[in-house]
């Protein structure tokens, strides 16, 4: 495991949820300012910028608004896992000497759509020709399609989908910033308003406004300039992408990029699933954590549903997962990956509201698009 690159600063916007008075750009800027303050750094100490937002400002606009003139720029845009990719690329850039301190920002007015372009339709794109004609309306009607095949092939059940939502509420009930905090039962999840059978409203992520930012730098630089908080070591990273169209997944009972990106991250960290104390899996919908647990090897094939139902991922369980409440209950701006990283950093620093004891290692699995791309970070304390 290499320990030469660290996360020095991490912060979310002061509030997440409904922020109709704040533009997309301002969400980037506010989270960046807070992350810089967290890192104890000034603008002049940042030489790298990485960002993306759906229909919003890119890295140059964010850097300029902040007053940074970057000499390393990354605008990799692969959906909600983009920020995990940005961390991976920043690690490589820092090791290569292309950057010293990289600021990674996210801001999205996902709910209020302030300062963001409307959702675009290009009627001659592949997706427009071969998916959009069928009455699809975004992720709730497309990301969800693989689930029935997954359940049939793995032996997991509809109740297991509901158990994921139940477990997430156990965590969000401990998080004062979470949008939904009331604990729910399996029957309540299954009985909630139907969105796209078999998915009820409580199996679908929130739609919120918010932002977050990270400062990634060398250990050497961090120790010379940094804060008193524990450093978070980027021990291993991985990335992969398969198809922009969910209908073209090779096998809907498994997500290949989850496996590929996590294998790369584990290999680099010199670790395996049994070494991980705390887990964040991008939970845009209730089936995604089940794929993640199985595809990363935390459980065997077909075992994820029972693993969650038995309480292993819940408070007090053997593998605390999505401890902020996740995209299902905490917040989901449209690009949730930044918030998953933030919670891992908080847990490793001992700063989380629902703090788990003795978190030395945390893994973040990010998803992008509708099972389109994925990236994995293995983070360690110190």
Partner 1 sequence: MPITDTKPRADVADRFVPKASPETRPFWDGTAAGELRIQSCTDCDRPFFYPRSSCPRCGGEALEWITCSGRASLYSYVISQRPAPGFEPPTVIAVVELEEGPRMMTNIVGVPPEPQFLPLDLPLQVTFEQRGDLAIPVFEPSESEVAR
Regarding 318 and contact with partner 1 (CB under 8 A), the answer is no
Element (H, E) at 201: none
Regarding 124 and contact with partner 1 (CB under 8 A), the answer is yes
Q: In the complex, what is the shortest distance from the CB of residue 15 to partner 1, in angstroms, rounded to a whole number? A: 29
Regarding 245 and contact with partner 1 (CB under 8 A), the answer is yes
Regarding 95 and contact with partner 1 (CB under 8 A), the answer is no
If DSSP states are collapsed to H, E and C, what string results for 111-134? CCCCCCCCCCCCCCCHHHHHCHHH
Angle, in degrees to the nearest 10, between helices 82-96 and 337-349? 60
- Show Cβ contacts of residue 137 under 8 Å, excluding neighbours closer than 6 positions: none
| Among the residue ranges 105-113, 196-204, 206-214, 343-351, the one whose residues contact partner 1 (CB under 8 A) | 196-204
Judged by CB under 8 A, the residue of 187, 194, 223, 310 near partner 1 is: 194
Start-to-end Cα distance in the chain: 13
If DSSP states are collapsed to H, E and C, what string results for 35-85? HHHHHCCCHHHCCEEEECCCCCCCHHHHHHHHCCCCCEEECCCECECHHHH
Q: What's the CA gap between 382 and 379, in Å, rounded?
A: 10
Judged by CB under 8 A, the residue of 21, 123, 182, 316 near partner 1 is: 123
Q: What's the CA gap between 102 and 51, in Å, rounded?
A: 10
Judged by CB under 8 A, the residue of 82, 142, 242, 324 near partner 1 is: 142
| Among the residue ranges 19-27, 94-102, 148-156, 266-274, the one whose residues contact partner 1 (CB under 8 A) | 148-156
By the 10 Å C-beta count (0-12 exposed, 13-18 middle, 19+ buried), 40 is classed as middle
Q: In the complex, what is the shortest distance from the CB of residue 366 to partner 1, in angstroms, rounded to a whole number? A: 23
Regarding 191 and contact with partner 1 (CB under 8 A), the answer is no
Regarding 276 and contact with partner 1 (CB under 8 A), the answer is no
Judged by CB under 8 A, the residue of 69, 129, 185, 318 near partner 1 is: 129
Count of residues near partner 1 by CB under 8 A: 37
Q: What's the CA gap between 317 and 170, in Å, rounded?
A: 11
Please answer whether residues 215 and 8 qualify as being in contact, where contact means their C-beta atoms are separated by less than 8 angstroms.
Answer: yes
Regarding 77 and contact with partner 1 (CB under 8 A), the answer is no
| Among the residue ranges 44-52, 147-155, 183-191, 359-367, the one whose residues contact partner 1 (CB under 8 A) | 147-155
Using CB under 8 A, list all residues that contact partner 1: 121, 123-124, 126, 128-137, 140-142, 144-150, 152, 193-199, 245-248, 252
């Amino acid at each position: 495991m290499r320990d030469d690159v660290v996360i020095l600063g991490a912060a979310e916007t002061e509030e997440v949820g409904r922020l109709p008075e704040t533009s997309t750009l301002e969400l980037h800027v506010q989270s960046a300012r807070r992350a810089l303050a967290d890192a104890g750094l000034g603008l002049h100490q940042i030489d790298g910028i990485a960002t993306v937002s759906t229909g919003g400002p890119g890295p140059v606009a964010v850097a300029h608004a902040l007053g940074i003139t970057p000499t390393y720029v990354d605008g990799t845009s692969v959906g909600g896992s983009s920020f995990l990719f940005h961390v991976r690329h920043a690690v490589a850039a820092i090791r290569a000497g292309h950057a010293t301190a990289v600021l990674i920002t996210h801001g999205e007015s996902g709910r209020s759509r302030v300062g963001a372009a409307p959702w675009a339709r290009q009627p001659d794109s592949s997706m427009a020709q071969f998916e959009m004609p069928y009455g699809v309306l975004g992720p709730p009607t497309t990301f969800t399609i693989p689930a029935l095949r997954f359940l049939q092939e793995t032996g997991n059940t509809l109740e297991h989908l509901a158990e994921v939502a139940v477990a997430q509420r156990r965590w969000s009930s401990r998080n004062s910033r979470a949008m939904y905090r009331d604990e729910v039962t399996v029957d309540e999840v299954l009985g909630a308003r139907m969105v796209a059978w078999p998915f009820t409203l409580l199996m679908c992520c929130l739609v919120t406004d918010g932002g977050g930012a990270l400062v990634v730098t060398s250990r050497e630089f961090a120790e010379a300039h940094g804060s008193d908080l524990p450093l978070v070591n980027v021990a291993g990273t991985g990335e992969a992408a398969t198809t922009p169209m969910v209908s073209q997944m090779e096998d809907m009972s498994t997500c290949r990029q989850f496996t590929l990106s996590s294998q790369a991250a584990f290999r680099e960290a010199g670790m395996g699933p049994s070494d991980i104390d705390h887990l964040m899996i991008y939970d845009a919908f209730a089936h995604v954590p089940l794929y993640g647990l199985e595809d990363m090897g935390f459980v065997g094939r077909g075992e994820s549903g029972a693993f969650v139902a038995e309480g292993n991922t819940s408070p007090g369980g053997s593998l605390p997962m999505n401890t902020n409440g996740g995209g299902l209950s905490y917040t989901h701006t449209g690009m949730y990956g930044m918030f998953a990283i933030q919670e891992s950093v908080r847990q490793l620093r001992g700063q989380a509201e629902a703090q788990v004891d003795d978190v030395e290692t945390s893994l973040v699995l990010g998803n992008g698009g509708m099972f389109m791309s994925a990236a994995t970070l293995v983070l360690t304390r110190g």
